[in-house]
Amino acid sequence: MIRHRESATQPACSPPSDTPLLEIRGLRVDFPHVEGGPAIDGIELTIRRGEIVALVGESGSGKTMTALAVMGLLPPEAEITGGTATLDGEDLFTMSSTRRDQIRGNKVAMLFQQPKAMLDPTAKVGTQVSESLRRHRGVSRRDAKTRAVELLRDVGIPEPQRRASSYPYQLSGGMAQRVMIAAALSADPALLVADEPTTALDVTVQAQILKLLQRKRDELGLSILLITHDLGIVSSMADRTAVMYAGRIVEDGVTTEIFTDPQHPYTQALLRASLLESERGKLFAIPGSATQARAIDRGCRFRPRCDTARELGITETCGSAEPTLHACGDHDHHHSRCYASRGYPEVP
């Protein structure tokens, strides 16, 4: 039940232009040797130029797999069993591996959660930052060195000259993430895939890194796919937000709308659970866990944890067939996959 949403490419919010940069259609990723249903099950996602789109969800919901599929970095056990992903009109899944190598680091780059683990421990920081330039732009060794220092300065690393000849173990986590950003942006990519870029960092440093990413978006017209489970980051960063649950997108829309008027019970629960109000008393917790949810092949996957379905007495409906991702209201920039959401076509 994958709906094709041509109209999703209409501008829903102000700054980004309306040409789609990345379009994912019906993407499906399976782990053939693992039980429990596909890791990603027919997701649709569009990112326009200069836009920051957040992909939110619990661990195991398929956020990282989506990113890896886009990057062509899926583990060998995983298999893309359906769907397409086009970057600037080029199909990412059918292109040759030579072409893929040309694109990676050049048109699309990635940031990881553990920056220190992702840097080569045996190579100097400067070399790693300018690797893309050497590879894709044919920059000479000497020029690459100069450029590396400039890039490091630009991302706010103090004493860039000296830092360029440091090794990763000499960097703090925040510093390492800045280095990763410098390296990722060195060849001026159009799309940056950032997988939990600040989760491993302190709050004070986290704010600095997020600001840096926003500045880069404004300066370069960069598009960012921001993957995170921290809703606080999403509200301050993303133009649009897609919420994933058990391999499915259950709600997407303009970020402000997702936060002020969430339609899917999972989104509502996630927002409530992440609030942590200051008053003592029992915190709201989503009952159960998402571990087995991907194995549910009939009906809504959130049903076992859903209070809304119980309160409305529609558990049977929810269990019989999965709701479609439908528009909430007249406009087409907010969608939800729930029978109880506003504007559901007809309750069966």
Partner 1 sequence: MTPGPVSMPLDRTEPEQLVVVEDLVKHFQLGRGKRVHSVDGVSLTVRRGEVLGLVGESGCGKSTLARAILRAVQIDSGRVVFDGRDVSHAQGKELKALRRSMQLVFQDPYGALDPRMRLRTSLGAPLVHHGVKNKQDRRDRMLAMLERVGLDETILERRPHECSGGQLQRVVIARALLLEPQFLVCDEPTSSLDASIRAQILNLLVELKDELGLTLFLISHDLRVVRYLCDRVAVMYLGEIVEVATRDDLFLRPAHPYTKALIAAALAEEACAEQTAAQLEGEPSSPIDPPAGCRFHPRCPIGRDRDLCHTLSPADSPVGDEHLVRCHFWPEATST
Assess 286 for contact with partner 1 (CB under 8 A). yes
| Options 18, 90, 91, 202; binder of partner 1; rule CB under 8 A | 202
Relative orientation angle of helices 203-220 and 173-185, to the nearest 10 degrees = 10
The three-class DSSP label of residue 77 is coil
For every residue of 180-218, DSSP letters joined together read HHHHHHTT--SEEEEESTTTTS-HHHHHHHHHHHHHHHH
**Closer residue to partner 1, CB minimum distance, 76 or 281:** 281
The three-class DSSP label of residue 263 is coil
Site string for partner 1, 62-101 (x = CB under 8 A): ----------------------------------------
> Closest distance between partner 1 and the C-beta of residue 139, in Å?
30
Alpha carbon distance 173, 113 (integer Å): 10
Assess 291 for contact with partner 1 (CB under 8 A). yes
**Closer residue to partner 1, CB minimum distance, 302 or 344:** 302
Exposed (0-12), middle (13-18) or buried (19+): which is 89, by Cβ within 10 Å?
A: exposed
Instruction: Evaluate whether 112 touches 180 at the Cβ level (below 8 Å).
Output: yes
Q: How far is CA 205 from CA 129, 144, 198, 210, 233, in A?
A: 21, 28, 8, 9, 13
| Options 206, 223, 241, 341; binder of partner 1; rule CB under 8 A | 206
Residues of span 258-277 touching partner 1 by CB under 8 A: 269-270, 273-274, 276-277
> Closest distance between partner 1 and the C-beta of residue 282, in Å?
6
Assess 330 for contact with partner 1 (CB under 8 A). no
Assess 170 for contact with partner 1 (CB under 8 A). no
- The count of other CB atoms within 10 Å of the CB of residue 24 is 22
> Closest distance between partner 1 and the C-beta of residue 230, in Å?
8
Structure tokens at 169: 């173990």
**Closer residue to partner 1, CB minimum distance, 32 or 287:** 287
Assess 235 for contact with partner 1 (CB under 8 A). yes
Residues forming contacts to partner 1 in the complex (CB under 8 A) are 58-59, 158, 172-175, 202-208, 229-233, 235-236, 269-270, 273-274, 276-278, 280, 282-286, 289-291
